[in-house]
């Protein structure tokens, strides 16, 4: 196993090519304070990006939820699920879904969401159900970097990367999300934003493959 520091955790490369992480307790993100500087900053935001992990402790949970509420109504609220170990709950997932207008999850996380929310049907049907129930503008489903799908208001964008050898890398999902959000804010269409996000994720995977 090859371990590396990762913002309060350790990353391990498993023989099957997947990565697992051991998240250390009492990390910096467990004690995020609500400050006037943070409030002033988020009141000017065009987009807010959040996930479940940083809400594992009540102190940071309260801060993050309050900051999301302080963001302008026009700002995108991007919920990147990022389920890790046991640091999530039905309560947190529902609360964040209610605040989001963009949802991103991978194939493994979809299985957990399906069970925890007692949903049935195909992956597409579940994504469309989540979109309808929580009035989401976009739902993004990825299968590592092999393929990804984005459901918008009246269309779907899908991309496959059949020739990519390294289809997983820590950071690829975040790179995808950040690029997609940036592209939307710059006025790109859904499919154009998807293509840009996909290419960024590929580049992260290729960089990992070379290292």
* 37-60: b (≥16 Cβ within 10 Å) or e: ebeeebeebebbbbbbbbbbbeeb
pLDDT in tens, the chain (211 residues): 233 334 455 444 444 445 566 777 788 889 999 999 999 999 999 999 999 988 999 999 999 999 999 999 999 999 999 887 778 899 999 999 999 999 999 999 999 999 999 999 999 999 999 999 999 999 999 987 788 999 998 899 999 887 666 556 678 889 999 999 999 999 999 999 999 999 998 888 888 766 5
Question: What is the residue whose two structure tokens read 């809400």?
Answer: 55
Q: Which residue, 106, 110, 123, 127, is CA-closest to 172?
A: 106
- Residue 132: strand, helix, or coil: helix
- Alpha-carbon distances, residue 42 vs 89, 115, 167, 169, 181 (angstroms): 26, 33, 34, 30, 16
**Model-level pTM?**
0.86
- Alpha-carbon distances, residue 109 vs 31, 44, 164 (angstroms): 26, 31, 22
């Amino acid at each position: 196993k090859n371990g590396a520091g990762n913002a309060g955790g350790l990353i391990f490369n498993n023989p099957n090519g997947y990565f697992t992480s051991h998240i250390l307790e009492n990390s910096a993100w467990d004690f995020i304070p609500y400050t006037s500087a943070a409030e002033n900053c988020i009141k000017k935001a065009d987009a807010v990006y959040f996930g479940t992990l940083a809400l594992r402790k009540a102190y940071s949970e309260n801060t993050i939820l309050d900051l999301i509420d302080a963001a302008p109504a026009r700002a995108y609220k991007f919920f990147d699920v990022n389920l890790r170990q046991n640091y999530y709950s039905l309560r947190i997932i529902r609360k964040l879904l209610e605040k989001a207008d963009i949802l991103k999850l991978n194939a493994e996380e979809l299985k957990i969401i399906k069970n925890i929310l007692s949903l049935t049907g195909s992956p597409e049907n579940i994504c469309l159900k989540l979109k309808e129930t929580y009035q989401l503008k976009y739902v993004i489903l990825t299968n590592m970097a092999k393929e990804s799908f984005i459901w918008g208001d009246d269309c779907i964008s899908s991309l496959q990367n059949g020739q990519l050898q390294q289809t997983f890398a820590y950071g690829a999902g975040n790179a995808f999300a950040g690029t997609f959000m940036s592209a939307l804010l710059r006025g790109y269409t859904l499919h154009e934003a998807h293509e840009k996000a996909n290419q960024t994720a590929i580049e992260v995977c290729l960089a990992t493959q070379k290292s």
